[in-house]
Copies of this chain bind each other. A is one copy, B any other.
Amino acid sequence: MSQERRTLRHAYGFEDVALVPGNITINPLQTDIDFDLGDLHFDTPVLASAIDAVVDVNFAIAMSKFGGLAVLNLEGLQTRYENADEHLIEIASASDDQVTPLMQKLYSQPIKENLVGDRIRAIKDGGGICAVSITPALTKQLYPIAVEAGMDVLVVQSTVTSARHVSKSEKGLVFSELREWVSVPIIVGNCVTYSAARALMETGITAVLVGVGPGAACTSREVLGVGVPQATATMDCAAARDDYFRDTGRYVPIITDGGIRAGGDICKSFACGADAVMLGSIMVQTAEAPGRGSHWGMANPHPGLPRGVRVKVNQNSTLEQTLFGPASVTDGTQNLMGALRTSMGVCGAHTLKEFRQIEMIIAPSIKTEGKQLQRAQGKS
């Protein structure tokens, strides 16, 4: 008799945990939040997601100006259409019923290799650091063009990317080979477990993206049943990074991607062990983002098994205000770096490394009935 042989582990999302203030407090102005990726140094530990609603040439240039890094999707509308903007407008104004078929149609146009080079050069010409994203399946085809055009960072990304992809019909991308071919930093993802993250690190790549399922526009949980809440995923992959560093002396940063709704979640990402965060839906709210207040995930236009929803947000901030304030709203979507420094201050952490040592608790952010009622009244 062996009933319920499997015991299942509890996993936690950012909404399930909270940070505990420290025994000392620190002046927020004296906290350090820098982020290093290979030889590149960033004052702002934030990447903008490789989604069409967030990153185009102008956005990438602006993001570099503010010390962060934007990732351009090389398989999105920007490389399929000379004038991508008109199709972004089309998507933003489509009805809910029509938007998925419309996206399936728009993304079925072939990628134009000349546009790949053009977009990269435009970012470089504008003074930006240029990161581009390719799926594993198209990496071998597109990376040489990107190298030639001068990309600074290569992101290889799909819903789930593992160190070893098994297929009889095609020879999969081998990251240790890619590492030989490309000299710029390579970021690979997404993964969510200790072992998968460690396996990717052992291929020699530069950094790892963490997150399967939590994004605002993602429906992997509903469609595939797959996903790990981000607090647990980040803690597990951070443990892999620390163990790998202890064993090899090489430090492979991890970047939390998805599930971040507000400044509080950014703070929790770093407290869970992230070296940087990748932001999608929050970035769509900036005036610089080309999405016109709509966004959607990379798997949303999939021809056979679309996963995701188009999400609409208010475009009520600038990129500068979103990153550095001053905030004019109190929901935590503006002055994200100010929030991070303040949170580090009240938790007594000078550096992001110290911030990882603070206590966290399981404390679901479900509001009390009274709180909700009062707020609802406040809205009327």
Residues in A lying within 8 Å of B, measured CB to CB: 1-6, 8-15, 17-27, 29-30, 96, 100-101, 104, 159-170, 191-196, 199, 212-213, 216, 219, 221-229, 232, 235-236, 239, 243, 259, 261-268, 271, 281, 294, 300, 303-314, 325-332, 335, 338-339, 342-343, 346-348, 350, 359-363, 365-366, 368-371, 374-375, 377-380
Contact B224 A263 (CB under 8 A): yes
A29 to B167 alpha-carbon distance, docked (Å): 9
Contact B239 A360 (CB under 8 A): no
Instruction: From known contacts A192-B20, A330-B300, infer whether A165 and B26 are also in contact, taking CB-CB under 8 Å.
Output: yes
Instruction: From known contacts A4-B236, A219-B332, infer whether A342 and B312 are also in contact, taking CB-CB under 8 Å.
Output: no
Q: Which residue on B lies nearest to A329, using beta carbons?
A: B100
In the complex, the count of this chain's copies comes to: 4
A161 to B366 alpha-carbon distance, docked (Å): 25
A350 to B166 alpha-carbon distance, docked (Å): 10
Contact A194 B20 (CB under 8 A): no
Contact B2 A239 (CB under 8 A): yes
* 15 contacting pairs across A/B (C-beta < 8 A): A14-B368, A19-B226, A24-B164, A25-B161, A30-B168, A160-B346, A212-B346, A223-B330, A223-B332, A224-B263, A232-B361, A261-B369, A262-B370, A294-B378, A305-B338
Contact A223 B17 (CB under 8 A): no
Instruction: From known contacts A166-B27, A166-B30, A368-B259, infer whether A228 and B18 are also in contact, taking CB-CB under 8 Å.
Output: yes
Contact B227 A377 (CB under 8 A): no
Contact A343 B243 (CB under 8 A): no
Contact B192 A21 (CB under 8 A): yes
Chain B residues in 8 Å Cβ range of A294 = 378
Contact A3 B239 (CB under 8 A): yes
The 8 closest A-B pairs by CB, nearest first: A261-B370, A225-B264, A27-B167, A225-B267, A160-B346, A223-B332, A224-B343, A222-B332
Instruction: From known contacts A304-B338, A330-B223, infer whether A374 and B164 are also in contact, taking CB-CB under 8 Å.
Output: no
A21 to B221 alpha-carbon distance, docked (Å): 12
Q: Which residue on B lies nearest to A193, using beta carbons?
A: B20
Contact B326 A304 (CB under 8 A): yes
Q: Which residue on B lies nearest to A190, using beta carbons?
A: B21
Chain B residues in 8 Å Cβ range of A329 = 100, 306
